Amino acid sequence: MICLVLSGSTIEENLSQFSLNRPYIDLMELRIDLLGEHARVAAAEFPSMVDLPVILTCRRVVDGGSYAGPEKTRLALIESCLEGKFAYVDIEEDVKRCAAEQKARERGIRIIRSLHDFSGIPSDIFHRIARVAAKGDIPKMAVTPHSVLDLITLFRVKEELSSVTEKIVLGMGDFGLPSRILYKKIGSMLTYCADKPVAPGQISAQKMKELYRADKVDDRTRIFGVIGNPVLHSFSPLIQNPGFHGINFNAIYLPFPVDSVRSFFILAEMIKISGFSVTVPHKQAVLPYLGKITREVKQIGSCNTVVRAKNLWMGTNTDYYGFIEPIVADIDAKRIQSALVIGAGGAARSVVWALRNHGCRVTILNRNIERARQLADETMASFDSLEHAAHHAQVDLIVQTTSVGMIPDADGDPIPDFPFAERHVVYELVYRPRYTAMLKRARQAGSKLMFGIDMLVRQGKLQFESFTGYHYPKRLEQNLGLEED
């Protein structure tokens, strides 16, 4: 079930959140601690105004809520609200026997016994869940994983406590996000969503339902994802999930913030991840875990796509192909024979190797000339310092691989003196903004422009093929929803 946490300060505001989210949710949590004094009095009426089950909750400040009054008053408030037709009431695990509890039982309102840990995961989490469940109540553990290893503990809940059918388990914060999205895989009966996050890591109900289709995850759903740090703003879920849906492929693709690649491979075995994208800073760190790699991965020393192949993990590099694909015809027809590559970092490595493997002459320009020299030695390319860019105006292709010009440095131009001309093909890897300062100059000069966003989408479509064995659905290509949330 997808549960919407109502964060309004009035009943009207909550009703409006409810109707906006109605298509995406199965139940709601009314947080009376967030309501104004007047609205609290009317809270009991709320369940009769909506056609979905409602959880009654009055969260204390210590548990991340807003209720700061005396405990006695809080419990009395909960008790009085239980006159309403609530389906569940959330009473914290440490609250001793109280009148609210008794009233809930009399009225057939199920009790959720919650524990919030904002600092970590209690060492006896499994025991606590089992103890609450033994009393017939629903245990809820909202805890804070700080690493992939912590996340593994949460995913173990499903096996360890398979006999407890009704329980709520979730990881808060960045490392917890996979547990919110894969809530069914950890055996949690629901996941919480909100328009405005009221707990760390909550996402909107629409995203949970429409992008991730988290409630449709079943035993046959294949799990894919992207690992990185940071990774939560990756575009890849916006490419992969609609693609899966478009070809009726039972799969989900989600971001995994990863601190340790080693731990992630343990998690991947444990929850049977079928494949994943790899982004900064892990593109090199995954290599020791791969049983099979392609020639490009070996050359570049970097892998951005991992798929499970029988008993081993196989690594490819779709950045390489996503980059070269649109210019291969021009290279083959000798319209592009020489290139200037700006930068000598990770992105430049894929670019230079792709160009060299296709027979293009390459000159690498980099701020740190030593780095340019090293990459040039390895790839049999030339190199020069960034200030000499204008000396290389005779090249056919210019590729910009540094972060200069990327938001928030939108005015940055790594080669401000370079005389762009109509005959140049200018390939910018930065995709935010679409037109960098450098591309604007090239556009004015009439050069042919190639955009970073298109390369990003191309490499994503190639990943989709590795993951599913199918082409990316053509009809979805135009509307790849690439806006950030």
Q: How many CB atoms lie within 10 A of CB 107?
A: 13
Give the shortest CB-143-to-ligand ATR separation in angstroms.
Answer: 34
User: What's the rounded Cα separation, in Å, for the pair 241 and 484?
Assistant: 15
Give whole-number Cα distances, 222 to 130, 191, 205, 247, in Å.
29, 19, 22, 14
Give strand ranges (E) for 10-82: 27-31, 54-57
Cross-strand partners of 142? 116, 170
Give the shortest CB-235-to-ligand ATR separation in angstroms.
Answer: 15
Strand order in the sheet with 397-400: 382-385, 361-366, 338-342, 397-400, 425-428, 448-450
> Which is nearest to 463 in space by CA: 234, 269, 240, 213?
240
Task: Tell how far CA 279 is from the center of its chain.
Answer: 12
Nearest residue (beta carbon) to ligand ATR = 345
CB 354 within 8 A of CB 322: no
**Site of interaction with ligand ATR (CB under 6 A):** 343-348, 366-368, 371, 401-404, 414
Task: Tell how far CA 208 is from the center of its chain.
Answer: 11
Q: What is the phi-psi region of residue 411: left when phi exceeds 0, alpha when psi lies from -120 to 50, beta otherwise?
A: alpha
Nearer to ligand ATR among residue 277 and residue 401 (C-beta): 401
Nearer to ligand ATR among residue 164 and residue 344 (C-beta): 344
Give the shortest CB-419-to-ligand ATR separation in angstroms.
Answer: 19
Nearer to ligand ATR among residue 414 and residue 452 (C-beta): 414
Give the shortest CB-460-to-ligand ATR separation in angstroms.
Answer: 17
Q: Which residues are catalytic?
A: 283
Give the shortest CB-301-to-ligand ATR separation in angstroms.
Answer: 12
Give the shortest CB-66-to-ligand ATR separation in angstroms.
Answer: 42
Based on its alpha-carbon atoms, the radius of gyration of the chain, rounded to whole angstroms, reads 27
> Which is nearest to 202 in space by CA: 227, 180, 169, 179?
180
Buried b (16+ CB within 10 A) or exposed e, 312-326: ebbbbbbbbbbbbbe
